[in-house]
Structure 1
Amino acid sequence: MRLFQIFETLKRYLSGKEKAIELTLITFLAKGHLLIEDLPGVGKTTLALSLSRVFGLSFSRIQGTSDLLPSDLTGASLYNKREEKFEFHPGPIFAHVVLVDEINRMSPKTQSALLEPMEEGQVTIDGVTYPLPKPFFLIATQNPIEYYGTFPLPEAQLDRFLMKISIGYPERNFEKEILKRGSLKEELSQIPSQFLPEEILKFQEEVKEVYVSEKVLDYLLDIVSETRKSPFLRFGLSTRGALLLLSAAKARAYLYERDYVLPEDVKELSPYVLLHRLGFKEEYEAQKEAILKTILEKIKIPLL
């Protein structure tokens, strides 16, 4: 399957980042959006750009700042004196793959301008709706250790991201390889595209048809139930969150050339889909990864 070969292509440009590549591809196949929380310089832009190149898709980068206006993202209707009418000038959101760098530096009003594009795949300006290119994939980043001058994403905004991941520093041998190669700017511009947008849309539709057995559904619902009963949480996973976890599990099965979901697909993706959706009590925020791991380990994986 050509889709799985994308792994090998992307690994050449993102040494030692196999997990991040896998999760990004799964999110893309599931028609979701991705939030990357990590330090600068670990390969976030390279990941987004190389993904757009290999899929033959348009790419746009937006740098989040506090003075950025909603119209700076979406575009605006401007009056054309010669034609004596308003004309719409699309903003950088009108691309297949959009990287929003440091999303939490944008004001809440500007952040909220991303809700409609992420949820509906469209932008409404002055009562007129403009569809975004298909497929549409938004990758946002934020720095986990900088809080001054930032605006934390509200729960409604976080919920629009299928997964939240971190890339992390590469291992020593991979970092040595990166140092030897130097800048990848020229190499990235020469990545040959391997797909047409229509093919990607077909992949995304086929993901929906991946089979899910009753046992896998029950396993997923057991996870949902345990999060809702946990004494460490203010609230557990919503039905919408459960649907998104199922969608991600289907995409993982599809990526690995299976037409059925395994319980391992659900368990493997749970931390990335669930952690930013669960309402942990304030005193347990620092332990949330360990708490979720304990919840998952309590639930018996069914035999298919």
Structure 2
Amino acid sequence: MITGFTQRRVTVADGVELNVAVGGSGSPIVLLHGFPQTHLMWRHVAADLAADHTVICPDLRGYGDSDKPADDGETYSKRTMGADIVALAQALGHDRFALVGHDRGALVAIRAALDHPDTITHFASLDVLPTLDMWDVMHGTTAAVGFHLYLMAQPPGLPERMISASADAFFGHFLDIWANDPNAIPADVRAEYLKASREAVPSIVADYRASAGIDVEHDQADLRAGTKLRMPVAVLQQDWGSALGFDAAARWQAWAPDLEHNTVTCGHFMAEESPAEIVKALRDLLTR
């Protein structure tokens, strides 16, 4: 558990409850975890922000201790998962709130911010590109780093069987190669991540599969309509843009006119590897 936080379950849709840790008091901020993690990835950042904010850290639908409904093609769309987060905040008494996402959680947060611009006051993304841009920049041999995206985009059956057959090795692979500082994820937290992921293979695959299908359709519709992120936006990314041959800041600028884009020197799991830097960036965002 996150020190000083209370754990509870909150109904966000018919038959769907999210596991959520809540702590602190003040203006609300919701923190969404990435893959292959749970809300525990925010344990350092959340404890700091709770000094003057109400901090809400859920497990996403399909992850951790939250419910994992069967997929019907839209169950794990980022639109559906984003609506979960709005419903969660409202159930906790917050009609407007700041929203931060890392990795998969950032994709949920982007969709929530596009769909609910009057609800999300500030938005921050940690180490991801919007879905359309992610697929657009991945080509040639550089796309090998995203092999899991292509694997989990396949029709139901094969990806789930392959991953379930060696779940700890699969999910542990990403915990190993994406962290610059392996000590940032201690053994007990790593074990929790692996256990949670092992028990959620079908829903995790469904989440990724949606990003190769219905999520693309939703983003393309916004692109055609000229829909933008209307709130102040902060983006923190590893310094990998030039290495992969694209301008990450320019990609983000197309979606977020009010953008502060910065690179960081830590690995992908930046909230665990460099929490003080993340806290400072989020506090700076909230003053805008």
TM-score w.r.t. length of structure 2: 0.28
TM-score w.r.t. length of structure 1: 0.27
